[in-house]
Amino acid sequence: MTVSSFIPPKRTLMGPGPSDVPERVLQALSRPTIGHLDPEFIRLMDETKFLLQQAFHTKNQLTIPVSAPGSAGMETCFANLLEPGDKAIVCQNGVFGMRMRENVERMGANAIMVEDEWGTAVDVEKVEQALKANPDAKLLAFVHAETSTGVESDVKALCALAHQYDCLSLVDAVTSVGGIALKVDEWGVDAVYTGTQKCLSSTPGISPVSFSDAAVEVIKNRHTKVQSWFLDLNLVMGYWGEGAKRAYHHTAPINPLYGLHEALLSLHEEGNENAWQRHRHHHNGLKAGLEAMGLEFAVQESIRLPQLNAVSIPDGIDDAQVRGRLLNDYSLELGAGLGKFAGNLWRIGLMGASACEENVSLCVTALDEVLSDMGAAIEKGAGPAAVLKHYA
C-alpha cells in the first residue's frame, strides 16, 4: 500500500450532518496548539461557556462542551441523572428515541416508553398519561428535532408537563440548536445536549450540554457512582469550573474547541433569531423548488423542521442510484432514510452554513437533472424556476 497525505474532495453537504464548515472555522482549527491548562486556553474555555449559554438561551452554570460527539452528550445526561432502579419516561418517534431507551437500560434504570408513529410529533396527551401512571418517574426524555424523520416536537409543552409531575426533563437538541427556537431557561429544560456538526457548522467530535440547578442537585447527591468515569460531571466540573484554577481531568480537544468557539462566535454575531429566520427562509426556497417539481414532503407542515427536510422518493426511482449520481456528478451529499423510511425518502439538510441560496439552487437543479434523466414523473425545469422566483 502506498500512502500519502489525504486531500478530501470538496463536497456540498446537504445530508443530516455534518454540515458545511465555513472557512473561518477551518482557519480557527489550524491555529497553533497550546496546552489544555494554559491561561489563554482557560480564557477560551470561559468564552466558549458564555457563547454556549447564549446559544442555549440559558444562564445555567453547568454548560460545557463534552469532549466527544453528540452521542456522548446523550450518554453524559443519562449517566449522570439516572441510577440503577430509577424510572424514566422515554418518548420514541424515530431512531434517536430508540437510542435514549438504550441509554436508560444500560444505566440499570427502567424505561417507560411513549411511542408515536415515525413522521409524527411526540403526543403530549400520551406523555401526560404516562406521567400520571408513573408518579415515581425521575426523568422525561424526548427528542426536539428528530433527525431520522424531520419532525419537531413541542419542548415547551413537554417540559411544562414534566415539572407539573415533579419530573426532570431531558431534551435531545442535536439538530435543533442554531436552527430553530430553543429557550432552555424560559421553557424549563433541565438537561439538554447538542452536537457541533449540525446547525452550529463546526466539525464533529464535541457535544455541548447544559444542566439546570435542579439537575445539578441530582448529580451532586447521587447514591452511586456515575457509570462512566470519563463522563462523570462531578469530576468534569472541576476542569470546566469558574476562574483560572482548574483540576486536571482529561486533555481537552484543543483545536476542535478553537473551531467550536469560532462557530459559536459566528452564531452570536448573527443572532439566534436571525439564524432561525435564515433557516426558515432557505427551507421555503427548497420547498418552492421541490413542490414545483412535483416532489412531496413526508411530514406535515405544522411539525416540519426547516433544517432537516424529509422528502418522499418518487415511485420507481432508486434511492441509492440518485444519491450516487448527485455525489459523483455534482459533489452533492444528501441523506438516506433510516429504519422504516430507508429507501422511501431523502433527508435534505439545510443546517448552519449549508442553509444558503447557493445550496438550495444546486440541490434543486441537480435533482431536476438527475430525476429527469432517470424518467421520474416530475415537471422538468419547474423546480429551478420556482427557486429563482423565491429568491428574486
Residue 322's CATH number: 3.90.1150.10
Burial (CB count <10 Å: 0-12, 13-18, 19+), residue 124: middle
Q: Give the residue among 166, 51, 149 at the shortest CA–CA distance from 95.
A: 149
Please give the single-letter amino acid code of residue 336: A
One domain for residues 62 and 156: yes
Span 153-188, pLDDT tens digits: 999 999 999 999 999 999 999 999 999 999 999 999
In a domain, 15, yes or no: no
What CATH number has the domain bearing residue 101?
3.40.640.10
One domain for residues 194 and 53: yes
Q: What is the mean pLDDT of residues 90-104?
A: 96
Residues in Cβ contact with 177 at an 8 Å cutoff, skipping those fewer than 6 apart: 55, 56, 194, 198, 199, 200, 208
Region of residue 311 (left: phi > 0; alpha: psi -120 to 50; beta: else): beta
One domain for residues 177 and 321: no
In a domain, 363, yes or no: yes
In a domain, 18, yes or no: no
Span 289-321, pLDDT tens digits: 999 999 999 999 999 999 999 999 999 999 999
Span 368-382, pLDDT tens digits: 999 999 999 999 999
Domain closes at, from 229, 248, 269: 269
One domain for residues 307 and 205: no
One domain for residues 83 and 172: yes
User: Using 50, 70 and 90 to split pLDDT, how confident is the model at 242?
Assistant: low
> Is residue 357 over pLDDT 80?
yes
In a domain, 190, yes or no: yes
Q: What is the mean pLDDT of residues 183-201?
A: 98
User: Using 50, 70 and 90 to split pLDDT, how confident is the model at 340?
Assistant: confident
One domain for residues 204 and 277: no
Residues in Cβ contact with 376 at an 8 Å cutoff, skipping those fewer than 6 apart: 314, 316, 317
CA–CA separation, 175 vs 182, rounded Å?
11
> Is residue 246 over pLDDT 90?
no
Mean pLDDT rounded to a whole number for the chain:
96
One domain for residues 340 and 362: yes
Residue pair 112/87 in contact (Cβ under 8 Å)? The answer is: yes
> Is residue 247 over pLDDT 90?
no
Residues in Cβ contact with 296 at an 8 Å cutoff, skipping those fewer than 6 apart: 311, 312
Please give the single-letter amino acid code of residue 194: T
Q: How far is CA 197 from the centre of its chain?
A: 8
One domain for residues 79 and 228: yes
Residue pair 151/93 in contact (Cβ under 8 Å)? The answer is: yes
> What residues make up the domain containing 375?
272-391
One domain for residues 278 and 238: no
Domain closes at, from 243, 269, 295: 269
One domain for residues 50 and 121: yes
Cα dihedral angle (185, 188, 192, 198), rounded to 10 degrees? -70
CA–CA separation, 218 vs 58, rounded Å?
19
In three-state secondary structure terms, 308 is strand
Domain total of the chain = 2
pLDDT score for 243: 58
Domain closes at, from 201, 236, 269: 269
Q: How far is CA 213 from the centre of its chain?
A: 23
In a domain, 383, yes or no: yes
Which residue reads 404516562 in cell numbers?
130
One domain for residues 230 and 342: no
In a domain, 333, yes or no: yes
pLDDT score for 138: 98
In three-state secondary structure terms, 219 is helix
pLDDT score for 244: 56
User: Using 50, 70 and 90 to split pLDDT, how confident is the model at 241?
Assistant: confident
Residue pair 146/97 in contact (Cβ under 8 Å)? The answer is: yes
> Is residue 223 over pLDDT 80?
yes
Return the CA Rg of the chain. Answer: 21
Span 48-62, pLDDT tens digits: 999 999 999 999 999
Local structure of residue 20 (DSSP, 8 states) = P
One domain for residues 68 and 210: yes
CA–CA separation, 90 vs 162, rounded Å?
12
